[in-house]
Structure 1
């Protein structure tokens, strides 16, 4: 009997046991460290449960006010129905800050794990039709479902990135299948869950306009109207109730708090780290030469934008400047999507757009690196160059998240997660590129997996950065300069992120 083709690989035969192992690890992490985001989401449960919809975005009983789009608020409202039955006090709005009973901790941790079902389904959809064979698909599932970054951010630090990334991957899977209307619809749904994913909206617009809205003026216009109607329905469902209650301006004020400042409290490893350092260096150098340099009063993270400049020498960076910079950085990708809109390139273009948003955006969180690392897993096995880049980038991204877990008891966990991830990638990629399938596909013998001298040198440098932060800094400086180890991590990982951006840009230019 003829065997079925590889691309019809059933979900149950391969993905469930990695998913079960991931779930077991998540359950073991339930007692681990929780950030303030745990209380943020607990409070959102209580306010959506206790208040009418018209007051959700004007409530001020807690500093952790609701600042996600409405679909996420509806998601919290749905969770609150179950939360109120697990522990009614959890959903009481005026029970004080930092409420964390054992049942509350268990419920919120499990809610994150349960929502990851969306991610697992999307990984299956996006990997099933790729010509990678069983080993290749398994590697993709491992790269995403066992992502150490997701473990750190969602299941220790505490957030809901997994199911949001699952919606993104679901949208990409529809586009790669040629189901553009569904792909655009699902992406619109994602934007109504978390607006920070809008960085890739220009890529979606150009690609869908050129790929979906084609076939002559009449047919193209009809498809444009159909796509616009689908998106309009999604946004009407999300924002319509708040427009009805006259709260739409308050919703947008909460969603876009531009006063937060250029950088997050822990500087994400992006371009602005080097801009800030250059300003500091120029100010120091000019003062040594005798120039009078006014010390700025505003903080890079405090967010007094427009009141005073946090830069001593270089021009002030505003949200508009970062917006223009991101669009300019994405533009080569948009040109490619306009000239030759290919479904197989969507995941690479979307990942590149999120890389640009991470490097040049306003008030970027370090956790946003997941937005491009996770989708890039689906391009990792296309060539040896892609594999080397992904191996390098995923390690840098994971290490840049280490400062999120600053308590001693979590230190072995994050180190083990990263080392296991690196080992799995090394042996998995080596096995894949030495397999008969890959040799037959390329009609040649592939060289063993390697990362080159730059990759080796840079990754070895991560050990030096970690040794400095954990051992040498306190020996040299004592209690002085407590921010310096974090700054060193931001700078060093920023170099790796800038290298990844240049590599992705080159790859987009070379790939037709």
Structure 2
């Protein structure tokens, strides 16, 4: 069944090859040309195209490897001056490169699903057929799949107690795409607590004492430093320039399309206050228009205090602290602590999504991928996955704005929702309970009435965006209104998820949280004890 699912999903990816592709397609073609023609001391200085290289060195080396193949197929691909070059061979090669690298992701999903005793096929299907990855990587065009493969490799090793391998894969991941540094605090806390400190108590009643292993800390430091040295070592003379590319703070608080996070609600509130101030004759600036112009740029708010990068950094760290403290103080039962590690990844990824600087809408996948794995490990995890997967995947719709893609993205979302809402609740329902079998078709299982009504609100939102907005003639005078509505409405759902799941994480009782790990996996934990 796993092979069949993989073949079907891969076939769908091939069908997407001729569809719309974003400017990210030219971004990666340009990176092929830069890495192929320039020496490494020029990679992060080259600026012929506006799409300059701004990923860590490991990703740049991957582009270099792909450029060697690309040149054999069409030498024009790797010419720097060939801006926006998109021959049929170029399109097929770049599309196929994403599909080929996705097998790393498929393999990692298989390794993670093998750790489960129940729901392993469901987890495999949910992850491999993730509509967000299909839309972002195989239509919009990016390389995210194999990166999440590295993340899942790391998580699988962490569950099995292979801490060095887990740290290795995560260090590699960061040196491919630095956005994953947002969840690095989870790794630091968990590895220190689980690998460098051991807890001892004579009678289980008195306060436990900690013994510290300098050897284990040295191993972690050695593997991490080695990976970063291998990555950044060749660029040691140009680190300031490299870091200026990796962290371009002048891009502004929000992306062109507001990611559905706290800042979308903040911007919306500022816009409402701006209108009210004008109506009542109160002094205000005219900066509000720049927030909805679809451009990547810095701007100041009209009424509310303007936000700078240091503010977002502080808010992000502060929002993570309770979860990290909870992770440190968890009980000694490693069967549950490893699951809490993944839950903490979800929490901290959500914190960074909510409060980070210049967050892209695609970053929602950093929350959804590990949450997909958790969906079969607890009833609350399953419930929150059903809610956030519906909201998060819908929030990606504006990326695929051509009208001919409307049916495709809607089909991907509804198919994935159907698989989730049908199969996840069945893991937790009592088969003897007749009430479960008499549920009305419009009642979404596991959700309360408020959550159900909120999700059905997406039907009205979709109808307005795709039919009523142009029918009412607003497409010329308010062209960005649908984007604003999608961002704000999805922000409400993501914000609700963040608060609810955070509360669940901080208050759950480990003894009541089920573990569905296989007996083979549990043997690892017995050995560690």
| Aligned equivalent of 2:48 | 61
Give the distance between the partners of 1:105 and 1:304, measured in 2 at CA: 30
Give the distance between the partners of 1:234 and 1:465, measured in 2 at CA: 46
SS at match of 1:212: helix
**Contact 1:433 1:447 (8 Å CA) reproduced:** no
Give the distance between the partners of 2:235 and 2:371, measured in 1 at CA: 36
Give 5+ residue unaligned stretches, structure 2.
200-209, 332-336, 438-444, 511-529
If the length of structure 1 is used for normalisation, what is the TM-score?
0.91
SS at match of 1:247: helix
1:483 aligns with 2:480: yes
Report the alpha carbon displacement of residue 353 of structure 1 after superposing the two structures with TM. 0.9
**Contact 2:101 2:145 (8 Å CA) reproduced:** yes
1:210 aligns with 2:210: no
Query: Which residue among 169, 178, 183 is the counterpart of 1:195?
Result: 178
The one-character-per-residue Cα deviations of 1:80-124 (angstroms, maximum 9, x if unpaired) are 111111211111222x21111111111111110111111111111
Query: Which residue among 331, 353, 370 is the counterpart of 2:321?
Result: 331
| Aligned equivalent of 1:237 | 230
Q: 1:302 to 1:35 in 2, by over 3 A?
A: closer
1:145 aligns with 2:128: yes
**Contact 1:123 1:166 (8 Å CA) reproduced:** yes
| Aligned equivalent of 2:39 | 52
| Aligned equivalent of 2:304 | 314
Query: Which residue among 215, 229, 239 is the counterpart of 1:222?
Result: 215
Report the alpha carbon displacement of residue 218 of structure 1 after superposing the two structures with TM. 8.2
Alignment root-mean-square deviation, CA: 2.0
Report the alpha carbon displacement of residue 139 of structure 1 after superposing the two structures with TM. 0.6
| Aligned equivalent of 1:178 | 161
Report the alpha carbon displacement of residue 392 of structure 1 after superposing the two structures with TM. 1.4
**Contact 2:288 2:301 (8 Å CA) reproduced:** no
| Aligned equivalent of 2:285 | 294
Q: 1:40 to 1:90 in 2, by over 3 A?
A: same
Give the distance between the partners of 1:397 and 1:297, measured in 2 at CA: 26
| Aligned equivalent of 1:462 | 458
Give 5+ residue unaligned stretches, structure 1.
1-13
Query: Which residue among 432, 448, 455 is the counterpart of 1:452?
Result: 448
The list of structure 1 runs, each at least 4 consecutive aligned residues, that deviate by more than 6 angstroms after superposition, is none
Report the alpha carbon displacement of residue 430 of structure 1 after superposing the two structures with TM. 4.5
Q: 1:481 to 1:453 in 2, by over 3 A?
A: same
Give the distance between the partners of 2:280 and 2:426, measured in 1 at CA: 59
1:496 aligns with 2:497: no
Report the alpha carbon displacement of residue 298 of structure 1 after superposing the two structures with TM. 9.1
Report the alpha carbon displacement of residue 78 of structure 1 after superposing the two structures with TM. 1.0
Query: Which residue among 120, 124, 138 is the counterpart of 2:106?
Result: 120
**Contact 2:174 2:180 (8 Å CA) reproduced:** yes
Give the distance between the partners of 1:298 and 1:60, measured in 2 at CA: 30
Q: How many residues align?
A: 484
Q: 1:285 to 1:81 in 2, by over 3 A?
A: same
Report the alpha carbon displacement of residue 431 of structure 1 after superposing the two structures with TM. 4.3
Q: 1:304 to 1:89 in 2, by over 3 A?
A: closer
Give the distance between the partners of 1:286 and 1:409, measured in 2 at CA: 41
**Contact 1:261 1:299 (8 Å CA) reproduced:** no
**Contact 1:188 1:234 (8 Å CA) reproduced:** yes
Q: 1:227 to 1:432 in 2, by over 3 A?
A: same
